[in-house]
């Protein structure tokens, strides 16, 4: 297994500006929310040692379970086993017709993020980003064999969906 040697980063930013015409000018109110998580190499608080990413396509009405503990292969062909997830980005392709549904595996669901039965719907072009706090040593736990499957599904028939996923975590 090739451990993550240089750390990892998850960053997200949302911004906008409200404007309103006033008697003697224009009022402006900028609004910004930005978060950035930088992780060093390792397994404790503020650290990660495993990374996995891929772009995948699901046939019409198809589903797949991403096994977070011992099945995924990294860029070098080594098996990736996560014990804790500290960063996650999932993005549905702009060209999708159907939605990408994330969560609620039928058995052994990775439930520490969405619970065992809840799902997240990513409409075409939508994305979601998750990062733990730098002081968080726990992250979102993965339990091999009983709580390690992240289900991803195509919401309907007729057309395939494509999505990209990037997972950052720790082996212990």
Q: Show the domains of the chain with their CATH numbers.
A: 8-170 (2.60.120.10)
Tokens 């309907």 found at: 156
Confidence of residue 134 (pLDDT cuts 50, 70, 90): confident
CB neighbours of residue 113 within 10 Å: 17
Two structure tokens written together for 9: 């980063």
Two structure tokens written together for 25: 């000018």
Closest-CA residue to 163 (of 131, 111, 104, 121): 121
- Which element (helix H / strand E) includes 14? strand 8-22
Residue pair 87/48 in contact (Cβ under 8 Å)? The answer is yes
Mean pLDDT value of segment 51-63: 97
The pLDDT of residue 48: 95
Radius of gyration of the chain (CA): 19
- pLDDT over 90, % of the chain: 94
3-state helix, strand, coil in the chain (%, to 5): 0, 55, 45
Q: Global pTM? A: 0.91
Tokens 């990513």 found at: 122
């Amino acid at each position: 297994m090739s451990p993550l040697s240089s750390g990892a980063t998850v960053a997200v930013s949302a911004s906008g500006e409200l404007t309103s015409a006033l008697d003697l000018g224009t009022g402006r109110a900028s609004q910004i929310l930005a978060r950035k998580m930088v992780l060093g190499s390792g397994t404790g608080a503020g650290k990660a040692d495993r990374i996995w990413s891929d772009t995948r396509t699901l046939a019409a009405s198809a589903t797949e379970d991403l096994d977070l503990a011992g099945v995924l292969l990294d860029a070098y062909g080594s098996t990736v086993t996560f014990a804790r997830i500290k960063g996650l980005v999932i993005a549905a392709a702009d060209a999708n017709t159907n939605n990408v549904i994330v969560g609620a595996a039928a058995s052994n669901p990775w439930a520490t993020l969405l619970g065992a039965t809840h799902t997240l719907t990513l409409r075409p072009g939508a994305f979601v980003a998750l990062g733990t706090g730098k002081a968080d040593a726990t992250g979102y736990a993965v339990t091999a064999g009983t709580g390690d499957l992240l289900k991803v599904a195509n919401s309907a028939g007729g057309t395939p969906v494509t999505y990209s996923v990037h997972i950052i975590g720790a082996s212990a």
